[in-house]
Structure 1
Amino acid sequence: MSGPGAVLQVAVNGSRGAGDGAAVPMTPRDLTESAVAAVAAGAGEVLVHPRTPCGRESLSPRVVGPLLEEMRGAGVRVPLSVPAAVDAEPDPAGRLERVRSWTVLPDRAQVRFAEPGAGPLGRVLLARGVAVDALVPLGGGAGPEPLARFLEWAQPDHGPVRLVVELAEADPALVAALRWLPPVPVVLYGREAAAWPVLRMAARCGTGARTGVGDVLHLPDGRAARSNAELVAAARDLREAATATAGIR
């Protein structure tokens, strides 16, 4: 699925708002500063949800482009990813049009295969030179359809595609099923209570992982996180410890 040195991605804001606490960066400057600090703490990629000044998620080139430029101008040299999702543009045709209108491109874009139009959206992104993170939920209330859509879509000629799996819980049986998937890199993550157990399991499995206030607001010991950098540092330490333990066994 993946291997040694698998990526640790930071979700710097996600769907969070100002009401979720001071750890959530809101303005483009705050997002940029948070990304810089998270990379310094060990994040190998940044996932950011671009927002309009009123806080609405957006795929507009007037929102996406300036944010990416500000982050790169501030010294963020790791890959930058944005979600191309219903939250930013409910209409599948509208999402395609937005992606085609981008003048500044992210390195990667997240495509949710639980949403309509995922396949065509992924193909448009790849045609524009943007790598695709195919997001598939597993466990909990998620049915088999998103994974089935990904399997139908993920042909060998689709190029730089990665499978990002949101696990409802750290269930080894769910991960075992991924061994039968096409040979693409895999990133595992969970939200809230599942976040840290899934990250530990990702470390043991050798897959990529994700953390950040977009997914979880507390540290492994239950304390409230003060920043994305603090979450990344905790994730880095946790991964190193889990990897060392797996090596001893």
Structure 2
Amino acid sequence: MIRRIKACLNGGRPFPASPADLAAEAAAAVQAGAEAVHVHPRDPAGAESLAPADIGAAVAAIRAACPGIRVGVSTGLWMTGGDAHRRAALIASWREMPDFASVNVGEEGFAELVRLLASKGVGVEAGVWRPEEADAVRRLPLERVLIEVLDTPASRAVEAADAILARLDTAGYHGERLLHGEEEACWPLISHAGRLGLPTRVGLEDTLALPDGTPATGNAALVEHALRRWAAA
């Protein structure tokens, strides 16, 4: 269980990309207080990848640098050009398993991929971007639901998050929830997560700036600021 904060190290950003860079950023984030890390592994050319060799290299490097820390990866459908069957085939061939993986509810093959990952002993985070997607998480073997507020101005971030949370209640989902936002919505929702007592996440995937707008020096600085903001709320 993530009690306070997970570090999302890179996402679609160009850095950190290599296994060594991911491991270094993970170690710094954990030192700053992160309880788990989420990454988008890359192939040798720098493209996001679900290939077994790329997943394995990233996961192994982070585990070596951060013993005992749970490591998660993305399964974004864009990594296989929208091909859900190819995505499933690549994941079925993984040899070094992450501890958990994020699966976006709105993507084709969501439920089938959740079951595949669960059968391989990988915990699943279901990414819910819109209230109507909350109904799809019922009766699936999930580790947690991610309430993810994307492409939303700061002034509407809390409203958008609360709408998803309410729909999860209506849908009967009572498992672990993690609340976060990207870009403008990042810092308001870290505060909101703190008020609600929900875990959150932060890292270069979600924002490049500290709460005052100055550029972050890395994932560790973001984690430090987020923990203070979460606790203060």
Question: Fold conserved (TM > 0.5)?
Answer: yes
Structure 2 contact 202–222 (Cα < 8 Å) conserved: yes
SS in 1 for 2:200: strand
Aligned partner of 2:143: which letter?
Answer: V
Q: Which digits, 9 at most, give the CA deviation of each residue in 1:141-191, with x for residues without a partner?
A: xx72x32333xxx31xx4443100112312264234433341110001101
Aligned ranges for residues 53-92 of structure 1 at < 5 Å?
53-89=44-80, 90-92=82-84
Q: Aligned letter for 1:29? A: A
- Equivalent residue number for residue 12 of structure 1: 9
- Asked whether the 8 Å contact 2:30–2:66 carries over to 1, the reply is no
User: What SS does structure 1 have at the residue aligned with 2:121?
Assistant: coil
- Which amino acid in the other structure matches residue 234 of structure 1? H
Question: Counterpart in 2 of 1:240?
Answer: 231
Partners in 1 of 2:178 and 2:205 — Cα distance? 15
Task: Tell me if structure 1 keeps the 8 A contact 2:33–2:223.
Answer: yes
TM-score of the superposed pair, with normalisation by structure 1:
0.85
Q: CA RMSD in A?
A: 1.7
Separation (CA, whole Å) in 1 of partners of 2:182 and 2:136: 23
* Corresponding position of 1:162: 144
Higher relative contact order (CA 8 A, sep 6+): 1
- Residue 87 of structure 1: SS of its match in structure 2? helix
SS at match of 1:40: helix
| Aligned residues of 1:10 and 1:38 also touching (Cα < 8 A) | yes
The secondary structure found in structure 1 opposite 2:45 is: coil
Cα distance in structure 2, aligned partners of 1:177 and 1:95: 29
Q: Which residue of 2 aligns with 1:108?
A: 100
CA distance in 1, matches of 2:24, 2:67: 10
The match for 2:127 is 135
Percent identity between the two aligned chains: 34
Distance in 2 between residues matched to 1:58 and 1:26, nearest whole Å: 11
Please, which moves more after superposition, 94-103 or 33-42? Answer: 94-103
SS at match of 1:43: coil
Deviates more, 1:162-171 or 1:177-186: 177-186
Residues 36 and 76, structure 1, Cα contact 8 Å, conserved in 2: no
Whether the 8 Å contact between 1:113 and 1:136 is mirrored in structure 2 is yes
Q: 2:169 aligns with which of 174, 179, 195?
A: 179
- Determine the structure 2 residue equivalent to 1:147: 134
Q: Specify the code of the residue in structure 1 equivalent to 2:13.
A: R
Tell me the amino acid that sits aligned with residue 166 of structure 1.
E
> Residue 126 in 1 paired to residue 126 in 2?
no
Mapped contact 1:112–1:134 kept (Cα < 8 A): yes
Q: 2:4, 2:74 → 1: CA distance?
A: 18
For these two proteins, the number of residue pairs brought into alignment is 223
CA distance, structure 1, for counterparts of residue 100 and residue 4 of structure 2: 13
TM-score, normalising length: structure 2 = 0.90
The answer for unaligned runs of 5 or more in structure 1 is 18-23, 243-249
